Chains A and B, each alone.
Chain A
């Protein structure tokens, strides 16, 4: 019997970009399913718009740069950015919001720097911040979870300027708590707000997908752990000092995009720090910044800004945590 003989390095051969991206996309399936179950068809339409815009923008940019189009489309990185951005924005925002955000994310956030591997910032977060700053009104149309929208209603709201918006949109939990804290109410009074328990399914779904990615060794455990610690340590400290002013660490963990950031955004291999020590610092910094922006910043949610700031710091973190060769 003969065994095939191969030379070093003896690494698994199937760890290509498209395999990594495909696994991350699989891991986002649970949250997509639960989101659609809770809120209706909005997200699916946004996903369709985002992916098609991302692919068209990527192709046009590559055409202008006179590069091969096919490999860049098949590596699925643009599709992943599109899915992340579609998940990040309100699912009942008008169609031009996701389209312009995607054009900016891929065009300015990625291709201007030279495409995948050269972009210093996470393209999905560049697109999100662009939308948040440019269209504050449309970006705060968060849907109430009480009734899921039918396909025709979702289409009407996204493609025609539906006037039904007032009835179905409301503040997110982070937003509501922040606004009421600023009016002088203490957290004990705010706790009375009715909260849909089913909403906790969404962070749970992110967790499931993330843990599966960890199991498949697509992402490293250091980044999610450090991010969650970086967020929870200051939150716990502040909560112990004054629980009437500062939200509990559990609240910070399950509301907003904490788990999404921990497992799917901060772990982007291009824009994160690359050494193990660097990953701890990088993700811990994101967690801390999320807490600071949520608590004292002007926006209710700080994930996108925190990630972009840490992206900016990642090259320096890499330089200072480089392992020394003796």
Chain B
């Protein structure tokens, strides 16, 4: 079992990373990753959704008819996302406002329905929960890396507006990576997201190539 857990972690974070390898869920990934804090907010929401939806779908897999499974999966995921949206609205109102439409859009994140179909509908509850967590973590790492890259390039800062997520005590968390930096505006715009993601995927492939040679 320990070995299984280890391989599933390596798979989720590296070999089958939902964002960098499967290229799933790119719409929120590209749209929201303009700062680290926005990325972190969406990463937490997406991971939570993945864990809960995987668990719920694995639990109910015995009494779902195969013919109508996809609409049912979507319904269950939508219910979970609505709960998370309401929770964010209550506790992280500023972040909720800055993420906007992309919280409800988690429903359409292909990574979630992909894991439901590929894993949760065929496995017991506990492994499915783990799978959701691991895949969510892999997605989160890619999302936060992209957010950090774009924030540093576009504004020269990291963790700006951390108070949206961590409360008033986090107001001074902002790090200025470069002083007197005029900012590459392109990195904050949609083309910048595509280019940065492309570079991340290229980096991942280059590292794979490097490891396979050794």
Contacts and interface: CB of A to CB of B under 8 A. Distances in A.
Bound together: yes
A167 B198 CA distance: 42
A130 B186 contact: yes
Contacts of A108: 195
What secondary structure prevails in chain A residues at the interface with B? helix
A147 interface: no
A227 B183 CA distance: 35
B182 A137 contact: yes
B189 A133 contact: yes
A318 to B, nearest CB: 25
A134 interface: yes
Contact of B186 (A112, A134, A138): A134
Contacts of A138: 182
Interface string A58-78: 000000000000000000000
Contact of A133 (B182, B185, B198): B185
Interface string A185-222: 00000000000000000000000000000000000000
Nearest to B202: A112
B184 interface: yes
Contacts of A137: 182
B201 to A, nearest CB: 12
Contacts of A135: 182, 184-185
Interface residues of B, number: 10
Interface string B98-118: 000000000000000000000
A108 B198 CA distance: 10
A130 B195 CA distance: 12
Contacts of A136: 185
Interface string B131-172: 000000000000000000000000000000000000000000
Interface string B51-86: 000000000000000000000000000000000000
A267 to B, nearest CB: 26
Interface in B169-214: 182-187, 189, 191, 195, 198
Interface string A90-121: 00000000001000000010001000000000
A323 B120 CA distance: 54
Interface in A212-267: none
B95 to A, nearest CB: 27
A69 B191 CA distance: 30
Nearest to A100: B184
A321 to B, nearest CB: 29
B204 to A, nearest CB: 16
Contacts of B183: 134
19 contacts: A100-B184, A108-B195, A112-B198, A130-B186, A133-B185, A133-B186, A133-B189, A133-B191, A134-B183, A134-B184, A134-B185, A134-B186, A134-B187, A135-B182, A135-B184, A135-B185, A136-B185, A137-B182, A138-B182
Of all A-B residue pairs in the complex, the 4 with the closest CB atoms, nearest first, are: A134-B186, A134-B184, A134-B185, A133-B186
Interface of A: 100, 108, 112, 130, 133-138
Given A100-B184, A134-B185, A136-B185, 16 more contacts: A108-B195, A112-B198, A130-B186, A133-B185, A133-B186, A133-B189, A133-B191, A134-B183, A134-B184, A134-B186, A134-B187, A135-B182, A135-B184, A135-B185, A137-B182, A138-B182
